[in-house]
Amino acid sequence: LAYDERGEGLPVVLLHAFPLNRAMWSEQVEALSHKYRFITPDLRGFGESSVMPSATMEEMARDIASLLDDLGIERAVIGGLSMGGYVTLAFYRQFPQRVRALILADTRAQADSEEARLNRERMAERALREGAAAIAEEMIPKLIAPQTIAERPEISERLRSMVVRNDPQGIAAAQRGMAARRDQSDLLAQIRVPTLIIVGREDQLTPPELSATMHREIDGSTLVVLDGVGHLSNVERPEEFNRALDQFLSGL
């Protein structure tokens, strides 16, 4: 498992979205590593981490637990965006005692509909047949708000360069892992740690209503909705995302 570690203090693990890599957190690490110890892994099959034939959310969560073992960290803040959020919930279910606090960004607790599962299988096969560039073409317009696409072409380019470096086998395994993921809705009411929920108001993939549901179910959670932002809230509006993150972490 490839990862970066930067800063000192409270350990904060941030898990990236599909089909990106740990570089998507660079603005958070850059801005806040003078206050917190950030650990940003590439999930299995992405970036510089090994490709595995299977990539369930539970397996990815166990990878993170092993990484924390290696680093000698018993408890950490665990956070993730979208797929990273699915892994975060799977981590909490398996290792609640290792979680100091949760960050759930642009994600959902529900499992996939049958239609979404079929679409994932189609995309897995497309990745294997046509390569990662085809997945970049398909995904990037869904990841960021139309205004971001129109006005900030450098963001699309940055995302593209992350996607195309991924192995198609890793992309396919993660799509199948996400299709197989369990519904975590029943877990929400059992969460007993401080939880920050962040979402972009224009998120098409995990719309704000899904975050509002998590906020209702997770006792004492904080919900932050960022205007003019799509699915990749931390990349599209780093300053606002960082403000919410810092406010949350500094209060722990």
Q: Which residues sit at the interface with ligand MLT, rule CB under 6 A?
A: 17-18, 82-83, 178, 205, 231
Closest to ligand MLT by CB, 11 or 177:
177
Q: How far is the CB of 194 from ligand MLT (least distance, A)?
A: 23
Q: How far is the CB of 136 from ligand MLT (least distance, A)?
A: 13
Q: How far is the CB of 220 from ligand MLT (least distance, A)?
A: 26
Question: Under a CB-based contact definition with an 8 Å cutoff, are residues 243 and 217 in contact?
Answer: no
H or E element that contains 5: strand 3-6
Integer CA distances (angstroms), 215 to 80, 87, 197, in order: 16, 18, 7
Closest to ligand MLT by CB, 39 or 81:
81
Integer CA distances (angstroms), 60 to 57, 83, 94, 174, 218, in order: 5, 10, 11, 10, 23
Closest to ligand MLT by CB, 37 or 55:
55
Q: How far is the CB of 55 from ligand MLT (least distance, A)?
A: 12
Task: Give 106's contacts (C-beta < 8 A, 6+ positions apart).
Answer: 17, 81, 82, 85, 198, 199, 200, 203, 205, 206, 211, 231, 232, 233
Closest to ligand MLT by CB, 37 or 120:
120
